[in-house]
């Protein structure tokens, strides 16, 4: 057996048992050899013979549990392991074995019941605290999960796995400040863990601290994280800072990792054409976004607006107008689009009379929109610019 010659071991065991069929030690060796060769039914029969001679044989019951577990019969493995814990209720090893089987079978309530007894015996056991936290988390008992994850970290302050799990729980409940505090504490001890850096960056991103978020994401990348998630959110961190030249490469890598992500495709297109307005790459990716999904009217309006801006920058102003009108048709409550159509007629197409009705619509419905600062040399608001043009065009 130690040289992995299990077939020969079985032959020798059978030879020994033919001389003395009561040798339970030989039966156990035979059963273990059969299990090693994945002969599950034969192994069960062999270990069953041991139990026939000694119904309280813990070793045989443990091997039977292993057979059921390895063969994918989790319910039977649990049943066998429960027999062991009934015989050895004070042995924590067998209780933990049962807990692992319950967790694997997603029986979190039963696992928690066993773990609670172990916790009462030793409230500082790190493994027990961690597994209780997992059960609570899976049962949506978030507050309890957080309490026990924190207790586990008191026992082992810088455990990577527990820190990751607790940070994820905090993020799911949108407690981003606590997630930052937790991950910052870990990073003060070990600043090279990409998983922790990524969660730290995401929490900062969700709190709109985009500068710090991009720093954490970049460190995670340097530490070896090349996930689509990191590429996407680091790109968004730069995008939110209007650093489109920095955002574009991250979005490109995110899209290379998943060419079906329309959101990434869109942001890459926008970032690219704002960085390189004379290039068609941005337009290509913005058009590709339309092929990837049928977005909501609100997103479609944003997409058409960005496409229109891209076409304006490449001199295709008639196409830009068509896109803005399509966006406004699909999202008529988006009053900003009325202004953009007016400006398209007025500034790009030099048709102020066609612009006038849209300027008036924009002013009429202004109470339904937020005031927007117009990117114009005078830095006036949309409303101020529209009112001035209405007067000028009417005159």
234 pLDDT above the threshold of 70: yes
65 pLDDT above the threshold of 70: yes
Banded pLDDT at 287 (limits 50, 70, 90): confident
- Are the C-beta atoms of residues 64 and 80 closer than 8 Å to each other? yes
Mean pLDDT within 41-54: 94
Mean pLDDT within 284-289: 86
Banded pLDDT at 375 (limits 50, 70, 90): low
160 pLDDT above the threshold of 90: yes
122 pLDDT above the threshold of 90: yes
Q: What per-residue confidence (pLDDT) applies to 330?
A: 81
- DSSP code of residue 367: G
Banded pLDDT at 332 (limits 50, 70, 90): confident
Nearest-angstrom CA–CA distance, 50 and 76:
18
Mean pLDDT within 366-395: 76
Same fold, 1-88 and 294-395: yes
Identify the CA nearest to 65 among candidates 83, 52, 50, 53: 83
Banded pLDDT at 374 (limits 50, 70, 90): low
368 pLDDT above the threshold of 90: no
Q: What per-residue confidence (pLDDT) applies to 294?
A: 65
The contacts of residue 136 (CB under 8 Å, 6+ apart) are 112, 142, 144, 145, 148
Query: Which CATH number among 2.60.120.260, 1.25.40.10, 3.40.50.1370, 1.20.810.10 corresponds to the domain 1-88?
Result: 1.25.40.10
User: What residue spans define the domains of the chain?
Assistant: 1-88, 294-395
378 pLDDT above the threshold of 60: no
Banded pLDDT at 333 (limits 50, 70, 90): confident
Q: What per-residue confidence (pLDDT) applies to 370?
A: 53
Question: CB-side exposure of 244: number of CA atoms within 13 Å?
Answer: 13
Average pLDDT, the chain: 92
CATH number of 294-395: 1.25.40.10
Nearest-angstrom CA–CA distance, 152 and 142:
15
110 pLDDT above the threshold of 90: yes
Mean pLDDT within 309-314: 88
Q: Dmax over Cα atoms in the chain, in whole Å? A: 118
pLDDT tens for residues 124-156? Answer: 999 999 999 999 999 999 999 999 999 999 999
203 pLDDT above the threshold of 70: yes
pTM: 0.71
Q: DSSP per residue over 197-230, as a string?
A: HHHHHHHHHHTT-HHHHHHHHHHHHHTT---HHH
Nearest-angstrom CA–CA distance, 125 and 108:
19
């Amino acid at each position: 057996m130690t040289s992995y010659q299990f077939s020969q071991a079985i032959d020798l065991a059978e030879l020994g048992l033919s001389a003395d069929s009561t040798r339970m030690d030989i039966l156990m060796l035979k059963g273990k050899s059969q299990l090693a060769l994945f002969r599950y039914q034969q192994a069960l029969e062999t270990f069953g013979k041991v139990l026939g001679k000694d119904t309280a044989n813990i070793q045989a019951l443990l091997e039977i549990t292993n057979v059921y577990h390895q063969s994918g019969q989790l319910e039977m493995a649990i049943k066998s392991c429960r027999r062991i814990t009934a015989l050895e209720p004070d042995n924590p090893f067998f209780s933990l074995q049962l807990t692992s089987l319950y967790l694997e079978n997603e029986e979190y309530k039963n696992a928690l019941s066993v773990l609670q007894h172990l916790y009462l015996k030793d409230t500082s056991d790190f493994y027990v605290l961690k597994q209780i936290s997992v059960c609570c988390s899976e049962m949506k008992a978030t507050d309890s999960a957080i309490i026990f994850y924190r207790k586990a970290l008191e026992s082992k302050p810088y455990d990577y796995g527990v820190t990751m799990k607790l940070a994820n729980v905090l993020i799911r409940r949108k407690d981003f400040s606590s997630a930052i505090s937790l991950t910052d504490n870990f990073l003060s001890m070990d600043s090279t863990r990409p998983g922790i850096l990524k969660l730290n960056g995401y929490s900062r991103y969700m709190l709109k601290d985009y500068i710090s978020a991009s720093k954490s994401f970049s460190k995670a990348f340097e530490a070896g994280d090349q996930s689509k998630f990191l590429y996407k959110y680091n790109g968004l961190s730069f995008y939110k800072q209007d650093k489109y030249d920095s955002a574009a490469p991250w979005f490109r890598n995110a899209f290379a990792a998943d060419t079906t992500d329309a959101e990434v495709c869109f942001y890459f297109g926008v970032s690219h054409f704002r960085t390189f307005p004379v290039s068609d790459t941005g337009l290509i990716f913005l058009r590709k976004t339309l092929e990837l999904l049928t977005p909501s009217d609100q997103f479609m309006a944003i997409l058409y607006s960005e496409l229109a801006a891209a076409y304006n920058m490449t001199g295709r102003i008639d196409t830009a107008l068509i896109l803005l009108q399509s966006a406004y048709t699909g999202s008529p409550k988006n009053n900003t689009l009325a202004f953009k159509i007016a400006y398209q007629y007025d500034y790009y197409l030099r048709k102020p009379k066609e612009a006038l009705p849209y300027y008036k619509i924009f002013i009429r419905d202004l109470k339904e929109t937020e005031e927007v600062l117009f990117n114009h040399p005078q830095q006036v608001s949309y409303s101020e610019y529209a009112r001035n043009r209405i007067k000028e065009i009417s005159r």
